[in-house]
Amino acid sequence: MAGLRLTSLRLRLVVVFALVALTAAVLASGIAYWLNREAVLTRAQDAALGDFQQEMQNRAGALPTNPTQAELQHTAGLMAGTGQHFSVLLIAQDEDGNTVVGNSDLDRFTLADVPRPLREAVDRRQPSGEHNSAPYHLYWQRTEEGGTPYLIGGARVIGGGPTGYMLKSLEPEAKDLDSLAWSLGIATALALIGAALLAQAAATTVLKPVHRLGTAARRLGEGKLDTRLRVSGTDELAELSRTFNRTAEALEKRVADMSARDEASRRFVADMSHELRTPLTAITAVTEVLEEELDAETGSVDPMIEPAVRLVVSETRRLNDLVENLMEVTRFDAGTARLVRDDVDIADQITACIDARAWLDAVELDAERGIMARIDPRRLDVILANLIGNALKHGGSPVRVSVHPDTRDGGKDMIIEVQDHGPGIPEDVLPHVFDRFYKASASRPRSEGSGLGLSIALENAHIHGGEITAANSPEGGAVFTLRLPRDSEPAPEDPETGAPADTDDTDRPDATGEAPGEGEEK
């Protein structure tokens, strides 16, 4: 049934073929019927009028100038006895000047049956001339009575004598023409059925390659880049199939090259991050010792180099966060990140995130306890740390965090809103706040953030089957809205092995430490 839906090409081809065949058949049948009708009626008409004219000359012309009614009646009967089977009406004047009538059919055919224009034409005397040698002529007319067609003809005897009229029924010819019309109608119907069958066969021949092409294109869109079409013939469809194969081959090569480069890029970032961790570990240990010396205020650090030492400590911490974020992004790009779900009280989780980072005085929490969700606690902590940290840094306190179920879907999802009281996000920046390494202010290319924080938060929301959106509140400030299902979908499988993705937490950022990366500049 899908192949014959109203918008299908197959149905349109069948309809077009049928309409063309119907038009041609109707035209041909109409012309054939009209030609045959004229031929049949003309032949019957000429035969009847010819016999009538001959009878008028031979029999009516032999009557006296003033015949009696009996003579007219007898002559009319003789004239009607020909093979044409027409009725005859003769009209003349007797010796007393009275009109007498002779009827071959006992008054069934009377003068009242003759149309007035025909009577006037028969009685009208024509002027003699070069092209007209007789004063009177034979005239005829077709009429219909009771659904039966008739031929009426009339003439006068030249040189004086009766006026004669004939009436011939054309019903046999009409029946023949009706039979012809039925035959042509049946032929038209058969032509229409044949055209529909031929159209179906033609549509199948044309659409089968198109269907194969559509299937191949769908498989290609699903990522099966090795899809190819079998090509046979030299017509336009075959050329289209060859073009598809060339395009698919070029696309497969291009995607393979891009995948190789992408894989090499991800491997480079991952390897670089791993390689950086070893020296960073040693540098971090040294900077921690230096930081302790600075905080001890023992005077062991030369005041001249103290700013440099503090800069080294700050930049080392920033570099360590950047490496951790790069490794997290690499896991998302490689598709190896997955959820480690647990039943979590959202209010407790947010409180723990705020408390671990000493943000209690700067954050207002509006969340009832008891709103449970089955999510990955570590990844939720990363999302919250980035959103709240971004709001505190770029928006200004107090930052308000509210939690409520999504009533639009019956509470299957929960919504966490993080709102600050800053100047808001410029409209031209809103579409880019979740882009990697995007910073709104070009005049401040260096910042404490890596430009990856909100991007990582968004990826963590996506892996839960959720979403994060950014907007400006009518009351002022920016609002980040996190929507998460309360029962997230299972973790994705590894694309190569089909097994669950690696859950090794060795390289993950510390869930209880600082935010893995500050958000984008506003």
- How confident is the model at residue 227, as a pLDDT? 86
- How confident is the model at residue 397, as a pLDDT? 74
> Position 34: which residue type?
W
SS3 for 149? strand
What confidence tier does 450 reach under pLDDT thresholds 50, 70, 90? low
Structure token digits, residue 269: 């970032």
- 315 or 491, which is more confident? 315
DSSP output for 184-231: HHHHHHHHHHHHHHHHHHHHHHHHHHHHHHHHHHHHHHTT-TT-----
What confidence tier does 285 reach under pLDDT thresholds 50, 70, 90? confident
Q: What is the pLDDT of residues 256-279, one digit of tens each?
A: 888 888 777 777 777 776 777 778
Phi, psi (deg, nearest 5) at residue 502: -60, 135
CA–CA separation, 244 and 213 (whole Å): 8
What confidence tier does 300 reach under pLDDT thresholds 50, 70, 90? low
Average pLDDT of the chain to the nearest whole number: 78
- How confident is the model at residue 297, as a pLDDT? 63
* 9, pLDDT greater than 70: no
* 466, pLDDT greater than 50: yes
* 155, pLDDT greater than 80: yes
Structure token digits, residue 514: 């600082």
- How confident is the model at residue 402, as a pLDDT? 92
pTM: 0.46
Q: Which of 343, 341, 363 is nearest to 351 (CA)?
A: 363
The stretch 438-442 carries a mean pLDDT of 59
Cα–chain-centroid distance for residue 57? Answer: 79
Contact status, residue 79 vs residue 55, Cβ threshold 8 Å: yes
Q: What is the pLDDT of residues 168-196, one digit of tens each?
A: 888 787 788 788 888 888 888 888 788 77
* 218, pLDDT greater than 60: yes
Q: What is the pLDDT of residues 85-131, one digit of tens each?
A: 788 888 888 787 788 888 887 567 888 888 888 888 888 887 776 66
What confidence tier does 510 reach under pLDDT thresholds 50, 70, 90? very low
In the chain, pLDDT over 90 holds for what percent of residues? 6
Q: What is the pLDDT of residues 373-405, one digit of tens each?
A: 898 998 899 899 989 988 888 877 789 999 988
